[in-house]
């Protein structure tokens, strides 16, 4: 018996740096500073928690003090209420007027959790087995200090956008849900799949689960959803979802030869009815433009953010033979492809060729320099026309719009071996 007692004693962890009794005494002495508006605990960002940490010489952090009291660890909140006579947070004071003695009385009523659950929105979303195959459940390792846990989850940055879109199509809730804790269970768990989430704007919660693993025979994967009603008006839901992962790549592929505004218009026409608020997964113009720019840079292999340096890289790599002259300050670039030269030479052999030079602005943004920005950049083109065709045979982007710059461009073009035009 003595050995058993000895073993149990040896298994105990080290004593707490600050005991529950010491924390309670500290909370009681500063009770008036811990709460606001009767019984609402002050937020973690309030200075009072940092002050309490300093009073304890940093033996326990401000966050630990806050959560110990908030989550009633060691019955701290109950003991504090008992010592100070403060009302619990889940109780409300309901005032009513007494007809007998005209005295204002107060009674305490507690909110029922059952009443709140009755207001929850419950529904089911359906996914095809092909959708499940794209999600690709994988094992992920989560490390915290020297401890590590492994969970089977759905494909990161893909399942969230897919689930949100289906939830919107089913109920059109205005909430911008942030999903987390997506877990694929095993044979011993109650549900095969579970997830939770919370709205970014009104903090209403959502959770979902599926009891059965999808199979090719069923074809449909049913996921049960239970969501709290939005706690704010839909007009106050203003945040947007992040465009990332597989969805960002799919959107970028559609934007390569299209405008962000067109994508927005088509998306809204597809998922919204007249009078609906634009949902959080219809991204704003600046997000779509940035995604499109990054995708194009990835295709072209551009890693340099400076536009002139990236032109120099292209000249030495994929566009060698098409980009000919680059000037940094004041900026200009001459470019034409070997195919354009071949087209001009072929047309020149046929007979009378005509060339025209035209320039236009507002197509290229000004270059930002260290202490200033460039002048307006114009696009100049040499256009071959005649015989029912009209085609560009050489181009120049230039910050300078004077005769000397244009003449230098024409001379560089003639140095490629082309003959003088007839007109």
Q: Per residue in 208-260, pLDDT tens?
A: 999 888 887 777 888 999 999 999 888 889 999 999 888 899 999 999 889 99
* Residue 410 pLDDT class (50, 70, 90 cuts): very high
Looking at the structure, do residues 58 and 150 belong to the same domain, yes or no? no
Q: Which of the 8 DSSP states describes residue 320? A: B
Of the three residues 236, 259, 279, the one that is the final residue of a domain is: 236
Domain with 358, as residue range(s), is: 307-415
Cα torsion angle, 340, 346, 349, 351, sign: negative
* Residue 102 pLDDT class (50, 70, 90 cuts): very low
What is the radius of gyration, based on Cα positions, of the chain?
A: 34
Q: Which residues make beta-bridge pairs with 227?
A: 121, 206
Long-range contacts of 26-35 (CB under 8 A, 24+ apart): 26/52, 26/55, 26/56, 27/69, 27/76, 27/80, 28/80, 28/83, 28/84, 31/80, 31/84, 31/86, 34/69, 35/86
Structure token digits, residue 155: 């494909």
The whole-chain average pLDDT of the chain stands at: 82
* Residue 341 pLDDT class (50, 70, 90 cuts): very high
Range with the poorest average pLDDT among 116-125, 127-136, 153-162, 255-264: 116-125
Query: Are residues 383 and 392 in contact, defined by beta-carbon separation less than 8 angstroms?
Result: yes
| Selected residue with higher pLDDT from 115 and 25 | 25
- Which residue from 337, 348, 339, 415 is spatially nearest to 384, judged by alpha carbons? 348
How many distinct structural domains can be found in the chain? Answer: 4
Range with the largest mean pLDDT of 82-91, 186-195, 280-289, 381-390: 280-289
Distance of CA 330 to the CA centre of its chain: 39
Looking at the structure, do residues 256 and 176 belong to the same domain, yes or no? no
* Residue 13 pLDDT class (50, 70, 90 cuts): low
Looking at the structure, do residues 394 and 313 belong to the same domain, yes or no? yes
Q: Residues 301-315: what's their mean pLDDT? A: 82
Looking at the structure, do residues 341 and 249 belong to the same domain, yes or no? no
Of the three residues 236, 269, 292, the one that is the final residue of a domain is: 236
Indicate whether 169 belongs to any domain: yes
- pLDDT above 80 for 146: no
Looking at the structure, do residues 145 and 62 belong to the same domain, yes or no? no
**Residue matched to tokens 């113009």:** 285
| Selected residue with higher pLDDT from 87 and 294 | 294
Q: Residues 369-387: what's their mean pLDDT? A: 88
* Residue 176 pLDDT class (50, 70, 90 cuts): very high
Q: Residues 171-175: what's their mean pLDDT? A: 90
* Residue 98 pLDDT class (50, 70, 90 cuts): very low
Looking at the structure, do residues 396 and 317 belong to the same domain, yes or no? yes
Looking at the structure, do residues 312 and 339 belong to the same domain, yes or no? yes
In whole angstroms, what is the distance from residue 262 CA to residue 251 CA? Answer: 12
The pLDDT, as a whole number, for residue 96 is: 35
Looking at the structure, do residues 206 and 263 belong to the same domain, yes or no? no
Looking at the structure, do residues 398 and 320 belong to the same domain, yes or no? yes
pLDDT digits (tens, 9 = 90+) for 68-77: 888 888 888 8
Looking at the structure, do residues 185 and 270 belong to the same domain, yes or no? no
Looking at the structure, do residues 128 and 52 belong to the same domain, yes or no? no
% of the chain residues with pLDDT over 70: 88
In whole angstroms, what is the distance from residue 282 CA to residue 200 CA? Answer: 16
Indicate whether 364 belongs to any domain: yes
Looking at the structure, do residues 315 and 390 belong to the same domain, yes or no? yes
In whole angstroms, what is the distance from residue 247 CA to residue 255 CA? Answer: 12
Q: What is the DSSP string of 253-298?
A: HHHTTS-HHHHHHHHHHHH--TTPPPPTTS--HHHHHHHHHHHHHH
Indicate whether 316 belongs to any domain: yes
Indicate whether 284 belongs to any domain: yes
Of the three residues 203, 236, 269, the one that is the final residue of a domain is: 236
**Residue matched to tokens 């033979």:** 321
The pLDDT, as a whole number, for residue 117 is: 54
Kindly state the helix (H) or strand (E) to which residue 63 belongs, with its residue range: helix 62-70
- Which residue from 63, 60, 29, 59 is spatially nearest to 44, judged by alpha carbons? 63
Give the CA count within 13 Å in the CB-facing half-sphere of 174. 17
Indicate whether 69 belongs to any domain: yes
Indicate whether 13 belongs to any domain: no
pLDDT digits (tens, 9 = 90+) for 21-50: 888 888 888 888 888 766 688 888 888 888
The pLDDT, as a whole number, for residue 107 is: 33
The pLDDT, as a whole number, for residue 88 is: 52
| Selected residue with higher pLDDT from 108 and 389 | 389
CA dihedral 34→35→41→44, nearest 10 degrees, is -40
Indicate whether 2 belongs to any domain: no
Indicate whether 126 belongs to any domain: yes
């Amino acid at each position: 018996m003595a050995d058993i007692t000895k073993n149990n004693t040896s298994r105990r962890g080290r004593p707490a740096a600050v005991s529950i009794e010491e924390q309670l005494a500290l909370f009681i002495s500063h009770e008036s500073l811990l709460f606001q508006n009767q019984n609402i605990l002050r937020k973690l960002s309030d200075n009072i928690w940092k002050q309490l940490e300093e009073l304890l010489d940093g033996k326990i952090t401000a966050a630990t003090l806050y959560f110990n009291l908030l989550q009633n660890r060691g019955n701290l909140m109950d003991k504090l209420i008992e010592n100070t006579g403060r009302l619990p947070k889940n109780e409300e004071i309901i005032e009513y007027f007494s007809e007998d003695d005209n005295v204002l009385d107060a009674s305490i009523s507690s909110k029922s959790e059952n009443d709140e659950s009755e207001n929850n929105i419950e529904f089911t979303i359906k996914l095809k087995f092909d959708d499940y195959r794209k999600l690709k459940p994988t094992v992920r390792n989560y490390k915290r200090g020297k401890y590590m846990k492994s969970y089977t989850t759905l494909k990161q940055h893909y399942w969230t956008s897919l689930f949100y879109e289906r939830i919107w199509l089913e109920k059109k809730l205005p909430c911008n849900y942030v999903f987390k804790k997506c877990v694929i269970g095993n044979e011993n768990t109650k549900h095969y799949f579970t997830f939770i989430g919370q709205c970014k704007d009104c903090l209403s919660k959502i959770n979902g689960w599926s009891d059965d693993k999808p199979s090719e025979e069923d074809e449909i994967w049913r996921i049960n959803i239970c969501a709290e009603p939005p706690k704010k008006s839909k007009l106050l839901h203003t945040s947007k979802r992040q465009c990332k992962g597989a969805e960002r790549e799919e959107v970028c592929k559609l934007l390569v030869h299209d405008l962000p505004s067109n994508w927005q218009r088509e998306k809204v026409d597809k998922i919204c009815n007249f009078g609906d608020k634009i949902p959080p997964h219809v991204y704003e113009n600046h997000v779509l433009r940035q995604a499109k720019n990054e995708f194009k840079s990835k295709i072209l292999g551009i890693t340099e953010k400076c536009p002139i340096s990236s032109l120099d890289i292209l000249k030495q790599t994929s566009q060698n033979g098409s980009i000919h002259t680059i000037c940094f300050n004041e900026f200009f670039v001459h470019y034409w492809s070997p195919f354009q030269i071949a087209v001009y030479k072929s047309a020149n052999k046929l007979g009378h060729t005509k060339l025209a030079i035209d320039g236009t602005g507002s197509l290229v943004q000004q270059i930002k320099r260290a202490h200033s920005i460039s002048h307006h950049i114009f696009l100049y083109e040499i256009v071959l026309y005649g015989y029912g065709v009209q085609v560009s045979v050489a181009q120049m982007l230039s910050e300078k719009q004077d005769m000397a710059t244009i003449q230098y461009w024409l001379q560089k073009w003639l140095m490629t071996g082309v003959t003088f035009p007839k007109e």
